[in-house]
Structure 1
Amino acid sequence: MRFYNFFLLSLFLAVSLSSCSQDTESTNVNWKDLENETPEWFKDAKFGIYFHWGVYTVPAYHSEWYSRSMYFPGSKANEHHLGHYGPLDEFGYKDFVPMFKAERFDPDAWAELFVKAGARFAGPVAEHADGFSMWDSEVNSWNAKDRGPEIDVVDAMEKAIRQHDLKFITTFHHQWHWGWYPTHKDPDSVDAADPAYSELYGPEVSEAAWRHEDDAARPDEAFSRLWADKVHEVIEGYDPDMIYFDTRMGHIDEPFREEIVRHFRENNSERGMKGQGVILHKFDDLPAEVSVRNHEKSRMNRLGEQVWQTEEPITTFSWCYTQDMELRPARDILHSLVDIVSKNGVYLLNISPKSDGTIPQDQQDILLSIGQWLDRYGEAVYGTRPWYRYGEGPRYDAETSEEESDEEYHELSYTAEDVRYTTKGNTIYAILLGQPGEKELQLQAFSQNSQPVKVTNVHLIGSDETLAWSDSEDGLNVTLPAEVPANMATVLKIETGDG
């Protein structure tokens, strides 16, 4: 990797060591000078792709949590492991590392696929909770450059993604590493408790910490320091445009979190990209003023005042490749994207490559289907902003009648009666989430009692036929042509003028 800036790291170290209380609420970190407006490019991008790919794809069983679940007696992963690989003191997670060879990995082909899918940013999971870094790390010898495939995956993807003019994202999940493995157990029974492998498996923690109990001790200073150093390496070495932190970042002492945000901002400035970087967090792990809220497998059920992001997997369960994985239809994924964009959100889709470095064809087909739709109808998505209301139809009515909450679970189904709105300049896009069966439509969001607007023309994108339309007090009435192009979603382009 490009050489790590130890001088800068030492400055961060001096600052952070002055305040490392386990109680993050008791620290006096001042976030105000790190406040940052969400950049316009991110608001315009709307769609990104990342991937869970690492050692956990070798067993390809159950989920990316295999590295943890395999050590829980009686779990499905544990029973599978014992049956296929033997006792945990003889074959542990470390023994999968040499089997992770990535012999068919082609970063340029991956980046080209992401472009064809319509993504505007993309990148890897830099480190999952398993303790294995996907870059050439100087603070962790258990990394993809020194072991396993002997490839600096983050570097390879960064180069390929930038060559295809996409923004580059790296994601971090290693705050989960504290208590991920049963390091409290007898090393004669599980390899994870052997101090010889503590760099991979983490420090010795209590059983309560391993079980993620609420009252268990949180990460100590040494763990937090290493956690931060890993992120520093990626920021300094690969210049990501976006960094994302999975849940439990709030377990890390606040000075270390502030240190990371400050380093990322300074790195952006040094690259001539001041204020253009995006930091993504979950829950309350970072202040809203310095980052963008990310929702996992869920989304807001209302129009967001500030831009936000949802991440979803291409599968119905696991985030990584498994042998029995079930994929979500391209239609459902596209509808999620459109619904999220209409609510002032950005959509991040996770895909699941195999351990050999191939992206299975069925996943490629889904991505290409989404990309084909976006290639034809993307003007209703990219660069748009939300309207005064995000939609109408059965799902909208259900959401607006519910008690106010921030999010809904991600696997929702829609019909052509569900309409989502986006805007761009004097144009309003009405996106029907399906192919309408009825030829006479009334878009009630245009009711003169709700939103007086002067419509000047209505087009059906993908059709050359002239549409008949009229305004009424109850809404905009549109007559569709006899033949509506079959598609996953139908788009009306509504041009407006001064009211």
Structure 2
Amino acid sequence: MIVTNTHPTNSLTLADTLNITATSSNFNLVKAGTLTRLYPGQAAVVQIGVQNKVGVAAGTTCGFGDYTADSTSLSWHWNPDWFNEVKFGIFIHWGLYSAPAYGSIAPNEDYAEWYWKRMNDPTYKTKTYQYHNITYGTSFTYDDFISNFTAINFNAKDWVDLIDAAGAQYMVPVTKHHDGFALFNFPSTISMRSSVHYGPKRDFIGELLAAAKTFQPQIRRGTYFSLPEWYNSMLIFMRSGPPTNPYTGAVENYTGFVPANDFIQDIQLPQQKVLAYDYETEIMWCDIAGSANNATIFASAWLNWARDQGRQVTFNSRCGIAGDFDTPEYTTNSGTVVRKWESNRGMDPFSFGYNYQTPDDTYMTGEDIVQSLVDIVSKNGNFLLDIGPKNDGTIPAIMQTGLLDAGRWIKAHSESIFKTRYWSVTPGSNNFRYTTTQEAFYIHYLTTPPLTLFVPDLVPYLPGDTVTILGGSLNGTVIPVTWNSNETISLSLSDELVASDQYVWTFKLDYTSAW
């Protein structure tokens, strides 16, 4: 629930600690909420826990009953608390497109994972049609890359260990992209177009999720799933139809194709069910739903099953219905958005899949990652950052360097990122960003701060509160604070304090005052 301080002058302080409860003849209070600081006119989100009383059916007078296969029923589902808390995830685009690994160079660069689609368009800016002809020849089909997709150096433990070292708390590997070539196992009656049946003959998604569960169990496990397939003859998608040779016009083999009566019922929905129930994904990250989906049928059954299993799962806005969170791509929001959202982009400036032509100096650095993360979290967003491994299963060194640099900062400043909430007043402006918890308020500064740092917003500081620097070599050092006449504050920093950290400087305001 949202609590607002309507008093014109008085602040809620530690001395007033507010306990938020609820009573009803239909439910029992399981967990009260608390609030220790709230400025006049400001609001905060507070959670309480309730449970239906014996004999009160869920979904009647209170609580949620079974979800039904309609968008209205499913709109009542919100993303779980844990999704609000994890903040930073790693996206992984890896598949057949990692073999050619081509997306051209700026200003004509585009998604390398769209290689097959682009090689069918002679006029597209990447000139993939021309590149493929020169590099591989007109008789070399896209599916011939199956033999090049060796994954010989793939090590699932190395991947999840890197994700942990990067400070990320969830991961979303691509299980099947628009080319229809899957990296997970499912009954061969559905399809045989996968790495289990062709090429490496391995279940990479199974290996990766198992490694995370075994070696990094704190990492939440999601799965990306493309709802359509560009060239599956059972689904006319983007007017492409079955695959044809772009140079000769001859119809090509769609490797692993199994005839079916209906793409959605016989291929798409069964594959989603495998990911949901067999692989136990916690995030169903769909892509390109259009009108060709069975989102309400899938989601209602999955959510009911997860609830009965005592699990909390979530799905994005690209499954064919509104979903639990929005997914702006290669962009962020300019201000706070109350509906949950997740910004996704690659470390590569223009591609999710690995593009061998991208210069190293254009990849996101540790500093870029940290500054983006802080900005996004301050606005109620999560940050899903993509890496594109090479076809042999190795992660490019430039990507590893950026992730590890960011991870050192993230781990040292984790309390100001994970399990925080956005500030209802403002996310901050210019170089300031803010995050909050019930116990503290965090002031982030996105560049090297001046020795006198004037905070322009009316942050919830009261005389007697303690402000310290968070992270860096002088972590925990108390910062002198001047409470200005207009109730703003200024922080007095030293050269040593400024030199003690990098990327983003974070100051923790502890609610210690009972003033």
TM-score, with structure 2 as normaliser:
0.76
Counterpart in 2 of 1:286?
Answer: 321
Cα distance between partner residues in 1 of 2:366 and 2:163: 15
Cα distance between partner residues in 2 of 1:124 and 1:490: 32
Q: Does 1:302 align with 2:335?
A: yes
Q: Does 1:370 align with 2:406?
A: yes
SS at match of 2:224: strand
Counterpart in 2 of 1:169?
Answer: 222
Change beyond 3 A, Cα 1:181–1:91: farther
Counterpart in 1 of 2:143?
Answer: 94
Counterpart in 1 of 2:443?
Answer: 430
Q: CA deviation digits over 1:291-312, x for unaligned, max 9?
A: 2111111222121223221111
TM-aligned CA deviation for residue 264 of structure 1: 2.4
CA contact (8 A) 2:466 2:478 kept: no
Counterpart in 2 of 1:385?
Answer: 421
Counterpart in 1 of 2:241?
Answer: 183
Which residue, out of 49, 52, 58, partners 2:99? 58
CA contact (8 A) 1:311 1:349 kept: yes
Change beyond 3 A, Cα 1:235–1:192: farther
Change beyond 3 A, Cα 1:295–1:387: same
CA contact (8 A) 1:124 1:169 kept: yes
SS at match of 2:465: strand
Q: Which entry has the higher C-alpha Rg, 1 or 2?
A: 2
Alignment of 1:320-339 (within 5 A): 320-325=353-358, 326-339=362-375
SS at match of 1:383: coil
Q: Does 1:265 align with 2:303?
A: yes
CA contact (8 A) 2:354 2:389 kept: yes
Change beyond 3 A, Cα 1:34–1:442: closer
TM-aligned CA deviation for residue 223 of structure 1: 4.3
TM-aligned CA deviation for residue 266 of structure 1: 3.4
Q: Does 1:481 align with 2:494?
A: yes
Change beyond 3 A, Cα 1:201–1:347: farther
Counterpart in 2 of 1:312?
Answer: 345
Alignment of 1:409-428 (within 5 A): 418-428=431-441
Change beyond 3 A, Cα 1:474–1:374: same
Counterpart in 1 of 2:510?
Answer: 495
Which residue, out of 471, 481, 491, partners 2:483? 471
TM-aligned CA deviation for residue 186 of structure 1: 6.4
Cα distance between partner residues in 2 of 1:470 and 1:343: 27
Change beyond 3 A, Cα 1:241–1:185: closer
Cα distance between partner residues in 2 of 1:82 and 1:278: 43
Cα distance between partner residues in 1 of 2:340 and 2:243: 45
SS at match of 1:175: coil
SS at match of 1:292: coil
Counterpart in 1 of 2:254?
Answer: 197
TM-aligned CA deviation for residue 184 of structure 1: 6.1
Cα distance between partner residues in 1 of 2:201 and 2:275: 17
Cα distance between partner residues in 1 of 2:246 and 2:491: 73
TM-aligned CA deviation for residue 137 of structure 1: 2.5
Cα distance between partner residues in 1 of 2:263 and 2:90: 33
TM-aligned CA deviation for residue 179 of structure 1: 2.9
Q: Which moved more, 1:310-319 or 1:292-301?
A: 292-301
Q: Does 1:109 align with 2:158?
A: yes
Cα distance between partner residues in 2 of 1:127 and 1:192: 25
Change beyond 3 A, Cα 1:170–1:30: closer
Counterpart in 1 of 2:63?
Answer: none
Which residue, out of 88, 97, 103, partners 1:47? 88
CA contact (8 A) 2:479 2:493 kept: yes
Q: CA deviation digits over 1:272-321, x for unaligned, max 9?
A: 21xx1011124x9412xx42111111222121223221111111011111
Q: Does 1:149 align with 2:200?
A: yes
Cα distance between partner residues in 1 of 2:250 and 2:184: 22
Counterpart in 2 of 1:229?
Answer: 270
Q: Which moved more, 1:171-180 or 1:380-389?
A: 171-180
Counterpart in 2 of 1:351?
Answer: 387
Cα distance between partner residues in 2 of 1:175 and 1:455: 59
Counterpart in 2 of 1:73?
Answer: 122
TM-aligned CA deviation for residue 482 of structure 1: 2.3
Residue 145 of structure 1 aligns with an amino acid whose one-letter code is: V
Change beyond 3 A, Cα 1:263–1:198: farther
TM-aligned CA deviation for residue 202 of structure 1: 10
Counterpart in 2 of 1:31?
Answer: 72
Identity percentage over the alignment? Answer: 25
Count of matched residue pairs? 418
Identify the structure with the greater helix proportion: 1
Counterpart in 1 of 2:66?
Answer: none
Cα distance between partner residues in 1 of 2:445 and 2:408: 17
Change beyond 3 A, Cα 1:192–1:102: farther
TM-score, with structure 1 as normaliser:
0.78
TM-aligned CA deviation for residue 144 of structure 1: 0.9
Counterpart in 2 of 1:83?
Answer: 134
SS at match of 2:91: strand
Cα distance between partner residues in 2 of 1:182 and 1:66: 14
CA contact (8 A) 1:47 1:119 kept: yes
TM-aligned CA deviation for residue 359 of structure 1: 0.6
Cα distance between partner residues in 2 of 1:191 and 1:457: 72
Which residue, out of 291, 307, 312, partners 1:251? 291
Change beyond 3 A, Cα 1:82–1:236: same
Residue 251 of structure 1 aligns with an amino acid whose one-letter code is: S
Cα distance between partner residues in 2 of 1:152 and 1:83: 33
Cα distance between partner residues in 2 of 1:455 and 1:311: 41
Q: Does 1:440 align with 2:458?
A: no
Cα distance between partner residues in 1 of 2:317 and 2:281: 15
TM-aligned CA deviation for residue 453 of structure 1: 5.0
TM-aligned CA deviation for residue 388 of structure 1: 2.6
